[in-house]
Structure 1
Amino acid sequence: MISLASLLLILGVPSVLGAVNGPCTANGVPGVCLSTSSCSSGGGTSHAGFCPSDPTDVQCCTKTCGSGGTCRFTSSCTTGNTASGLCPGPTDFECCLAASGGSCGAPAVNAATISLIKQFEGFVASPSPDPIGLPTVGYGHLCQTSGCSEVPFSFPLTEAEASTLLTSDLRTYESCITSDINSSIRLNDNQYGALVSWAFNEGCGAAGSSTLIARLNNGEDPDTVAAQELPKWDIAGGQVLQGLVNRRKAEVQLFQTPSSVIAHPPPC
């Protein structure tokens, strides 16, 4: 049987591979390569196919932590606000919290963002391949187990159930965008939402290591950065997809839509 890592390579989908106790990214979420027993005992979730050779007992371990935090290596926690003792693995794999200190979690995206995501993901009632062959269901939920058994609803989904699943899925991406962007950078709810939509589509790992985030954290004008950087993310499966071209254009438009509601840093 072909491994998930091999399938991603064939499809041209970026994945991050790491050695034991090294960094990895599973379905866009940062993690660490650990034995499945160590991951489980630390409260994490193991994902096969994202560590070298995909040995049975060493998989990519991810975990949410604290209040809206994500376990990641301290070197990639741009807020500098980490909490030890909450994550399995090496000592420098810690809980990365929002710059506020974790007293409040990452804010939920606004209705305009939800509408944009639903428009471009489309509603899929039962698991089926997306444009590059990966199994998805609902509004862009990437199946993590055979038959999407992790989804807490029976198939076919109703649109209401798919909306609930989307809200749950977005918490990961709201958290990573909040953590990745320095607390000195102010973003309104449309700017923040556009970035969450992008991260949901491309993955937290790709977003966190991007030039877009680096330029924002460097203090460059957010509208200019979004207009120049978001359109670059239009490739999947090794080719430019018109759907991604259209989505990036819509995200830029949302990003540049004025709003007086500040979403970042998170209001407490």
Structure 2
Amino acid sequence: MKFTIAALASSLAVVSAYPITGTTVNCRSGPGTSYAVKKSYSLNDDVKISCQAAGTSVSGNNIWDKTQDGCYVADYYVRTGVNGYVTDKCDGSGSCAAPASNSATVDLIAKSEGFRASIYTDATGHATVGYGHLCTKSKCAEVPYSIPLSTANGKKLLASDMRKFETCITNMLNSKAVLNLNQYGALVSWSFNVGCGAAEGSQLIKRLNAGETVNTVLADELPKWVHGGGVVLPGLVTRRKNELALAKTSGSGAALPVKC
């Protein structure tokens, strides 16, 4: 059975847990430092975000995350992986949300990552489970499903993990980058593999933001991302070819820029 991100999202009650990055972080009654402190979180505590709101700027970030505890914590102290909204705004207006990946993208990432029901150590020494989920806690305790994972729960976990990369790709591209869902999916898969930080600083993103032809840029740049430990990895060569093939497949709807 094939899943789309949109279908899976409806089965997920909340956004995945994100770790706190400060030693002691106050959670307040409203989105700002003038509101009363309701509770505090400690370093590496996981919080689940129900919505986000604009408020007092903390080190240049004015987003505040409303947690399942019903209070607000500065997004600056929450490691969501992006400098932007990752869920709806608390006023109900919705954020300028990243598009959901299509089923072809989900299938490509799932195939590239492979499925492992039980926890294993990947090539870089990280505890991993499911479709390439990198565990953040001992024994993957942050995963909200029983392990060994079923394939259905593995897909749900993948959907949650992909949201970070959909958001970072959306946020790092400007209005000159006009992508359909297949081209967007190729970039989501690529960033899922190489990381948002590496993607954002890449020549690929710079060229797209300069308004160059999307498939020309992808054909030039994606094949460069095939190295690991200084050598060419056949698995990455195959993945880049599959991403490029997806990008060149016609028939998908518009993805970026987002119409807010």
Say whether the 8 Å CA contact 1:188–1:261 is kept in structure 2: yes
The answer to whether the aligner puts 1:151 opposite 2:138 as a matched pair is: no
TM-align CA RMSD:
3.4
AA paired with 1:198? W
Long gaps (5+) in structure 2: 1-17, 29-41, 66-73, 87-92
Other structure's SS at 1:118 match = helix
- Cα displacement (A) at 1:231: 1.1
| 1:21-100 alignment, distance < 5 Å | 35-38=22-25, 41=27, 66=52, 83-84=62-63, 87-89=74-76, 95-97=83-85
For the pair shown, the structure with the greater C-alpha radius of gyration is 2
Which residue pairs with 2:126 in the alignment?
134
Distance 1:143 1:238, change over 3 A: farther
User: Aligned to 2:190, which of 174, 191, 198?
Assistant: 198
Distance 1:37 1:242, change over 3 A: same
Deviations 1:159-203 (A, max 9, x none): 000000000111101000010100232100000000001111111
Say whether the 8 Å CA contact 1:72–1:96 is kept in structure 2: no
Q: Which whole-Å CA distance do the structure 2 matches of 1:150 and 1:124 have between them?
A: 17
| 1:108-123 alignment, distance < 5 Å | 108-123=100-115
The answer to whether the aligner puts 1:263 opposite 2:255 as a matched pair is: yes
Distance 1:145 1:103, change over 3 A: closer
**TM-score, reference length from structure 2:** 0.69
Long gaps (5+) in structure 1: 1-30, 43-56, 75-81
Identity %: 49
Q: Which whole-Å CA distance do the structure 2 matches of 1:137 and 1:66 have between them?
A: 29
- Cα displacement (A) at 1:62: 11
- Cα displacement (A) at 1:267: 4.3
Distance 1:89 1:261, change over 3 A: closer
Say whether the 8 Å CA contact 1:72–1:95 is kept in structure 2: no
Q: Which whole-Å CA distance do the structure 2 matches of 1:232 and 1:117 have between them?
A: 19
Moved over 6 A (4+): 61-65, 71-74
Q: Which whole-Å CA distance do the structure 2 matches of 1:116 and 1:168 have between them?
A: 16
Say whether the 8 Å CA contact 2:176–2:208 is kept in structure 1: no
User: Aligned to 2:160, which of 168, 193, 211?
Assistant: 168
User: Aligned to 1:189, which of 165, 173, 181?
Assistant: 181
**TM-score, reference length from structure 1:** 0.67
Distance 1:63 1:214, change over 3 A: farther
The answer to whether the aligner puts 1:107 opposite 2:99 as a matched pair is: yes
